[in-house]
A and B are shown apart, each in its own frame.
Chain A
Amino acid sequence: MPRAAGPGPIAAPAAGEDRPFGVYVHVPFCVSRCDYCAFATWTDRFHLAERYVAACVAEIRRAPTGWPPSAGALSGGVAPPPAGWPAGVPRPASSVFFGGGTPSLLPARLLGQLLSAVPISRGAEVTVECNPDTVDTATLRSYADVGVTRLSFGVQSMVPHVLRALGRRHDVEAARAAVRAASAAGFAGRYSVDLIYGAAGESLEDWRATISAVLALDPPPAHVSAYALTVERGTPLAADRSRHPDPDDQADKYLLADELFAGAGLRWYEISNWAAPGAECRHNQLYWRQGEYLGVGCAAHSHARVRHPVAVAGVGGSRRWWNVRTPERYVDQVESGRSVVAAGEVLTPAEQRLEALQLSLRTRAGVPGTALAGWREDPALDGLLATAPGDRAVLTARGRLLASEVALRLHASPAPR
């Protein structure tokens, strides 16, 4: 597993078919939009669903080109990407993730069409994000039948007034029902719960109640993602300062969550993610490990590493590109045989190192001790980093809350030669 981290030399990716490869499929439809949400999702375009899925299938089936990208094609710069950028699926996917939006709005038939287009390796992880009020046992069974192995429920809260404050349509009972349905469909121990803390009016006790209720679900989740409510520009929430979360309150809630999850056997493995050992989301880990993935659908991002991790100045270690933002545009591009890529970038080695540092720092793997040169004596970092086996440094709970500041300080320190 390549785990390039810190300002040290870039780790060469392992060669061969067994290197993880992920496929992300974006489903840009929702029944309603939550007012804190800035994702690429629409409430009025579900009529495009059939054409959209067909377009995604077409994109997946495109002849793989440029995987792995050759150093020669890397001419630097941002959009439009040069011809010869990677496309298609170069090798069987070790993970597939249907995100959104609300992927569970898709009937199993469409989901099945998408999945059958993706070459998948044995034992691959296939996750679908679900809203609790859009699923029932029959739907989830049909998901399992087409190859879905993991569910992720957008529960957000288990306190009614907090759910209302977040503008969520479902109620607490819907979450419990969804979990029962998941269990009946065979997803016991293979589902995750998404939570949000920091909504207007949510007390620390409300948050504790949410966590307790989630841990008391039957069967209990093996994986939880808990996100601090974030004010995104351009959302209705951004316009209403009175509902903006207080960072100190969110810090308290984070520490509480970390403590309660740990007590229930879910250990943190990324800043906002906790899991029972072995239940970590393999697909999401690709993002934090600078792995390779193809994003399918509108607004999806892809990432490819270069064949030769050359340390030649100006030559990138990897490329990233992303598709056009709206579903109608995406469908149009595919149907007319044009590229769906909106823009992309070639990362310089320095950029790649910075990404490696900040991404790896977010995880339980931490960063190599060499990244800490010059900061060992920084009193400001006291208590924010702890050493871990293999001469690595890992954020403490308090440090995780200050990950951006820590990354900045580590990055600003002189790189060891």
Chain B
Amino acid sequence: MRRGAVTLPPAPQVAGIVAAASKPAVVLIAAKIGAATAPGLRAPHCSRTGRDRRDRSRPFTRRKNRHHGRDIVDLHRIRNLSVVAHVDHGKSTLSDRILELTGAVDAREMREQFLDSMDIERERGITIKAQNVRVHWRGYTIHLIDTPGHVDFGYEVSRSLAACEGVVLLVDAAQGIEAQTLANAYQALEHDKEIVAVLNKIDLPAADPDRYAGEIERVLGVPADQVLRISAKTGEGVAELLDVICERIPPPSGEADAPLQGLIFDSYYDQYRGVVSAVRIVNGTLVSGTRLRFMQTGRTHEVEEIGIRAPANVAVAELGPGEVGYLIAGIKDVGEARSGETVTTAAHPASEPLEGYQDPKPMVFCGLYPLEGDDFADLRDALEKMRLNDASITYEPETSGALGFGFRCGFLGLLHMEIVRERLEREFDLSLIATAPSVEYRARLTDGSTVEVHNPSEMPEPQALEWIEEPFLTATILTPAEYTGTLMDLCQNRRGDMVRMEYLSPERLELVYRIPLSEVVIDFFDALKSRTKGYASLDYEPAGWARADLVKIDILLNSVPVDAFSAIVHRSAAHDYGRRMTERLRELIPRQLFDVPIQAAIGGRIVARETVKAKRKDVLAKCYGGDITRKRKLLEKQKEGKKRMKNIGRVEVPQEAFIQALRLEE
């Protein structure tokens, strides 16, 4: 199951994309969307693939007594749980408070840690938290498994759920439950996980816990009087929360003597240690130094180190059933230790792998091209390195008539795409052109075969096409009731069909639409945000395929088709797309030394045309003593500008034109 979700905080201006975590990383990253007010992308670095390697500076603990002996923890005294929360609803603060309260980190260290994380946070605009942390509370061992609070990475929630028995659902007592949190809660319910609902921030003047407890009861069936009320900031109610966790969340089950079955639910690449995986032991015992079989890949690897995070890394000799820890086995590629993989011993393997889950598949595709053709090899290397840590990226070489050699890349969603592109540019110092994002289509040809279309250029000729189908989503929007009209209008414009409309409370309602993915990938989030002043939240999940009347529209510059601007669109929207794109390009393409026609064509038929008139004047009127230096500098600047132009059909197109043209607003 994969799902994406976009959270729309009521912050006035959230940059188009907000920082998010890239990847499978044990160090998990929750975007502080609400706090991101700076324009532009605040891309997270990925130190492990990029040039900045600061955050791997702490090596895994190497104590003299490295494998210190210890008993396997009593299964019945283990509690494994995930904290599910909307961004900014206080998950980080709660984690800090729990670490402090349980003595996992003393007050002095706490302060240091806090400062440390603030440093990185300031630099990256993100929050970083240990994903799985072991704490002790009144005789119980609790594993806190963090989940990312955002967007295209919603699928990670399902990873976390697979490793735990219960969920703490953390909701801001001043804002109520948001779409993605609700979706995650439903997912937890589907998997029979125990839900502990918690209203946080009750110390806020605007807190209205009674109202939102009622809302939680209505939408999730958790009795309002069972909803805990805490303030992670002041610490009020946190101890009670830990007690309730120990009381309500069931212990894991498993056999210590059975053949080993361990579930890998996350992996990342560490430049010093190779792949580090998060593992949950289901049955049997994982012993350091044994030879493991990875049941999906069939490969065997020797355990170099196992350990727990408390929250510092502590190597241990063995991990028993119900325990969560990390595993290092000399693996160099995260693709060989993917989430959902089952590890067992090579000597006494389990007969069956655990029920895994599929890694998410790319939903959004675009071409990435280096602005300078010479950078192609650098781009390939950069993508390789990115993939080391983010197995969900796909890429394959592609050639564009207009843009030269590049890669067709697949991403989990638009946010993921933007982040990856931004990181490629920042961390690998590349200048890239990204083509219009597209989804995967399935085309049935007249000869009975079916082809997948990831790229407008792969679209079969109309005469060879039987039919074409496109992916759909079920989109769930939670919104203040006053925006219902404008949101219904938006969804209808995007070819959405309403599935359901339901009031959560007199002020808030849930809208559910079935809507083509292609209508969501471009700018749906932005539109939703701007129409609701940021108050609506969105979650979506795949909802199958359906046939549609889709056509390919081409944009020609000086009679040369620019495949970067080609798009597959619904026939009803094709003329509009052509008109908007040609008009926009007319504004974006600077006047050249000759007239430049810009045309939009469906098949061979021109449906829109604009002309960039030849420029006639480009000269400074005066050039005397005081003008000469200025004029030379201007020319030098123009020369630099020319370097950043792409030549297409003799037309010099600034990189900015590509970026701007592909940003079609409402």
B1 within 8 A of A: no
**Contact present for B639 and A247 (CB under 8 Å):** no
| CA gap between A139 and B190 in the complex, in Å | 99
**Contact present for B625 and A247 (CB under 8 Å):** no
The listed residue (B592, B622, B628, B638) touching A408 by CB distance below 8 A is B638
**Contact present for A412 and B635 (CB under 8 Å):** no
Name the residue on B nearest A286 (C-beta).
B625
| CA gap between A26 and B326 in the complex, in Å | 77
B191 within 8 A of A: no
B interface footprint on A317-335 (CB within 8 Å = 1, 0 otherwise): 0001010000000000000
**Contact present for A272 and B622 (CB under 8 Å):** yes
B interface footprint on A386-405 (CB within 8 Å = 1, 0 otherwise): 00000000000010111111
In the complex with contacts A354-B636, A355-B628, A404-B621 CB distance below 8 A = no
B interface footprint on A290-330 (CB within 8 Å = 1, 0 otherwise): 00010100011111000000000000000010100000000
A interface footprint on B599-636 (CB within 8 Å = 1, 0 otherwise): 00000000000000101111111111110110110111
Name the residue on B nearest A355 (C-beta).
B632
**Contact present for B622 and A227 (CB under 8 Å):** yes
**Contact present for A407 and B616 (CB under 8 Å):** no
User: Which of A45-53, A87-95, A248-256 lies at the binding interface?
Assistant: A248-256
List B569-597 residues whose CB lies under 8 Å from chain A: 592-594
B299 within 8 A of A: no
- Per the CB 8 Å criterion, the residue count for chain B at the interface is 27
Chain B positions within 8 Å of A400 at CB level: 619
**Contact present for B628 and A412 (CB under 8 Å):** no
The listed residue (A345, A402, A411, A412) touching B593 by CB distance below 8 A is A402
Chain B positions within 8 Å of A271 at CB level: 619, 621, 623
| CA gap between A239 and B638 in the complex, in Å | 24
A143 within 8 A of B: no
| CA gap between A241 and B616 in the complex, in Å | 20
A83 within 8 A of B: no
**Contact present for B621 and A284 (CB under 8 Å):** no
Q: Which of A284, A287, A295 has the most CB of B within 10 A?
A: A287
| CA gap between A411 and B629 in the complex, in Å | 16
B218 within 8 A of A: no
Q: Which of B613, B617, B621 has the most CB of A within 10 A?
A: B617
A359 within 8 A of B: yes
Chain B positions within 8 Å of A295 at CB level: 625-626
| CA gap between A99 and B627 in the complex, in Å | 14
The listed residue (B593, B621, B626, B628) touching A405 by CB distance below 8 A is B593
| CA gap between A402 and B617 in the complex, in Å | 5
Name the residue on B nearest A357 (C-beta).
B635
| CA gap between A287 and B629 in the complex, in Å | 11
| CA gap between A227 and B634 in the complex, in Å | 19
**Contact present for A408 and B617 (CB under 8 Å):** no
Q: Which of A24, A398, A407 has the most CB of B within 10 A?
A: A407
Name the residue on A nearest B593 (C-beta).
A380
Q: Which of B618, B619, B622 has the most CB of A within 10 A?
A: B619
A102 within 8 A of B: no
**Contact present for A411 and B639 (CB under 8 Å):** yes
A41 within 8 A of B: no
Name the residue on B nearest A230 (C-beta).
B621
B642 within 8 A of A: yes
**Contact present for B621 and A227 (CB under 8 Å):** yes
A351 within 8 A of B: yes
**Contact present for A228 and B626 (CB under 8 Å):** no
**Contact present for B625 and A403 (CB under 8 Å):** no
Name the residue on B nearest A398 (C-beta).
B616
Chain B min CB distance to A314 (Å): 17
A127 within 8 A of B: no
Q: Which of B632, B642, B650 has the most CB of A within 10 A?
A: B632
**Contact present for B632 and A287 (CB under 8 Å):** no
A362 within 8 A of B: yes
**Contact present for A402 and B622 (CB under 8 Å):** no
In the complex with contacts A303-B625, A354-B636, A411-B639, A402-B631 CB distance below 8 A = no
| CA gap between A10 and B196 in the complex, in Å | 81
**Contact present for A247 and B615 (CB under 8 Å):** yes
Chain A positions within 8 Å of B619 at CB level: 228, 271, 400-404
A interface footprint on B634-648 (CB within 8 Å = 1, 0 otherwise): 111011001000000
| CA gap between A295 and B629 in the complex, in Å | 14
B interface footprint on A332-370 (CB within 8 Å = 1, 0 otherwise): 000000000000010000010011001100100000000
| CA gap between A302 and B628 in the complex, in Å | 11
Chain B positions within 8 Å of A99 at CB level: 624
In the complex with contacts A358-B632, A412-B639, A401-B617 CB distance below 8 A = yes
A288 within 8 A of B: yes
In the complex with contacts A358-B632, A411-B635, A380-B617 CB distance below 8 A = no
Chain A positions within 8 Å of B618 at CB level: 401-405
| CA gap between A295 and B626 in the complex, in Å | 9
| CA gap between A206 and B634 in the complex, in Å | 32
In the complex with contacts A301-B628, A408-B642, A251-B622 CB distance below 8 A = no
The listed residue (A288, A300, A404) touching B620 by CB distance below 8 A is A404
**Contact present for A301 and B635 (CB under 8 Å):** no
Name the residue on B nearest A301 (C-beta).
B625
**Contact present for B616 and A402 (CB under 8 Å):** yes
**Contact present for A380 and B624 (CB under 8 Å):** no
Chain B positions within 8 Å of A301 at CB level: 625-626, 628-629
Chain B positions within 8 Å of A402 at CB level: 593, 615-619
Chain B positions within 8 Å of A293 at CB level: 625
Chain B positions within 8 Å of A322 at CB level: 626
**Contact present for A248 and B616 (CB under 8 Å):** yes
**Contact present for A230 and B620 (CB under 8 Å):** yes
| CA gap between A300 and B650 in the complex, in Å | 42
**Contact present for A287 and B624 (CB under 8 Å):** yes
Chain A min CB distance to B200 (Å): 51
Chain B positions within 8 Å of A345 at CB level: 629
Name the residue on B nearest A358 (C-beta).
B635
**Contact present for B625 and A250 (CB under 8 Å):** no
Name the residue on A nearest B625 (C-beta).
A301
Chain B min CB distance to A228 (Å): 4
Chain B positions within 8 Å of A227 at CB level: 621-622
Chain A min CB distance to B296 (Å): 55
**Contact present for A251 and B620 (CB under 8 Å):** no
Chain B positions within 8 Å of A303 at CB level: 625, 628
| CA gap between A398 and B594 in the complex, in Å | 13
Chain A min CB distance to B368 (Å): 27
Q: Which of B592, B625, B632 has the most CB of A within 10 A?
A: B625
List 16 contacting pairs A-B, 8 Å CB cutoff, sorted by A.
A227-B622, A228-B617, A247-B617, A272-B622, A287-B624, A295-B626, A303-B625, A354-B632, A359-B623, A362-B623, A401-B617, A402-B593, A404-B620, A404-B634, A405-B593, A411-B639
Contacts A227-B621, A354-B636, A402-B615 supplied; 13 other A-B pairs, CB < 8 Å? A99-B624, A228-B621, A250-B617, A270-B623, A271-B621, A302-B625, A345-B629, A354-B635, A358-B635, A380-B594, A404-B634, A405-B618, A407-B635
**B contact residues vs A (CB 8 Å cutoff):** 592-594, 613, 615-626, 628-629, 631-632, 634-636, 638-639, 642, 650
**A contact residues vs B (CB 8 Å cutoff):** 24, 99, 227-230, 247-248, 250-251, 254, 270-272, 284, 287-288, 293, 295, 299-303, 320, 322, 345, 351, 354-355, 358-359, 362, 380-381, 384, 398, 400-405, 407-408, 411-412
Closest 7 CB pairs of A and B: A251-B616, A301-B625, A247-B617, A403-B619, A227-B621, A228-B621, A380-B593
